[in-house]
Amino acid sequence: MKKQKILVLGGTGKTGRRVAEKLINLGENIRIGSRSEKIPFDWEDSSTWTDVLSGMDAVYINYQPDLAVPGALGAIKKFTTLAVQLGVQKMVLLSGKGEKEAERCEQVVMNFSAEWTIVRASWFNQNFSESFFLDPILAGHVALPKAEALIPFIDVNDIAEVIVEALLDDQHNGKIYELTGPRQLTFEQATTEISKATGRKINFSSISMEEYVGMLKEHNVPEDFIWLINYLFTEVLIPSNSVITNDVEKVLGRKPMDFSQFAIETAKTGVWNSEKLTLKPA
């Protein structure tokens, strides 16, 4: 049986990198969608889309920075239309759990693609190790709004494994999966877990959304990133999005990684021990 050719967008990012690695280890025929590749791909330059889609049977769609941002819907419509025209059969879309704007993008994929799977993910564990919570962890003081919010953090490795299953197994066609970790934590509880795992004192303080936005501006964080952070904290961190699901177990036949296990394993890499602050986008 001839193997399908799979395009992995965001192939150097948090989920895409792991999806690509897993597919390569399985001997799959993949192409990485990234600005730095020999055949480059850039969401902001649609002239790059045709070459990267040509000859592909399936695609993992990971829109940067987030499906909720203005312009995402138009880009997803244009991309999926072109993908279908070029013969792509299967599309697996990474979406955000509880993001109403993202659901409009999901609908586009569902309408255009012959075979589709939607993967809605809760907040990533790796936001603390590879994204915008890393610098505060390194500084030893995490100050965030919505301290009362309960979040079922999900590990990116679990997300990637579900995406690989969806790409390779047709039983996941037409399914919407909502991925969460096995328990809810507040930001303070997550910070405490990391403090225990690293043996470092990491303080947590609750601040208002206005204070947080002001702090981001002081650090010269780009306005579009501030908009996204504000959206995520105000629209997504609500009680209805704290519900724990069993979709990881449904797809993989095992429970998702617990945050404490993530903290212990990540602490071993030394990423939280550096004194150098390296603010990264989501």
HEC profile of the chain: CCCCEEEEECCCCHHHHHHHHHHHHCCCEEEEECCCCCCCCCCCCHHHHHHHHCCCCEEEECCCCCCCCCCHHHHHHHHHHHHHHCCCCEEEEEEECCCHHHHHHHHHHHHHCCEEEEEEECCEHHHHCCCCCHHHHHHCEEEECCCCCCECCECHHHHHHHHHHHHHCHHHCCEEEEECCCCCECHHHHHHHHHHHHCCCCEEEECCHHHHHHHHHHCCCCHHHHHHHHHHHHHHCCHHHHCCCCHHHHHHCCCCCCHHHHHHHHHCCCCCCCCCCCCCCC
Quick one: pLDDT at residue 274? 60
Residue 74 resides in a domain: yes
**Domain-embedded: residue 56:** yes
Residues 89-122 as b or e (16 or more Cβ within 10 Å = b): bbbbbbbbbbbebbbebbebbbebbebbbbbbbb
Is 209 inside any structural domain?
no
Q: CB–CB of 254/118 below 8 Å?
A: no
Q: How far apart are CA 97 and CA 120, in angstroms?
A: 5
CB-based contact 186:152 (threshold 8 Å): no
Give pLDDT, residue 3: 85
pLDDT of 277 reads 46
Q: Give how many domains the chain has, as a whole number.
A: 1
Distance CA 9, CA 41 (A): 8
Which CATH number fits the domain that encloses residue 160? 3.40.50.720
Is position 39 within any domain?
Answer: yes
Per-residue pLDDT of the chain (282 residues), as tens digits, is: 568 999 999 998 999 999 999 999 999 999 999 999 999 999 999 999 999 999 999 999 999 999 999 999 999 999 999 999 999 999 999 999 989 889 999 999 999 999 999 999 999 999 999 998 999 999 999 999 999 999 999 999 999 999 999 999 999 999 999 999 999 999 999 999 999 999 999 999 999 999 999 999 998 999 998 999 999 999 999 999 999 999 999 999 999 999 999 999 999 999 999 654 444 433
Contacts of 5 (CB under 8 A, 6+ apart): 29, 30, 31, 55, 56, 57, 58
**The pLDDT of residue 2:** 62
Report yes or no on 199 lying in a domain: no
In a domain, 170, yes or no: yes
User: Would you say residue 186 lies in a domain?
Assistant: no
Instruction: Evaluate whether residue 217 is within a structural domain.
Output: no
pLDDT of 81 reads 98
State how far the Cα of 94 lies from the Cα of 76, in Å rounded to an integer: 12
pLDDT at position 146 is 96
CA angle, 86 then 110 then 69, to 5°? 90
Distances 14 to 62, 130, 131, 160 between C-alpha atoms, Å = 10, 8, 9, 9
- Overall residue count recorded for the chain in this entry: 282
What residue numbers bound the domain in which 21 lies?
A: 5-123+154-180+243-257
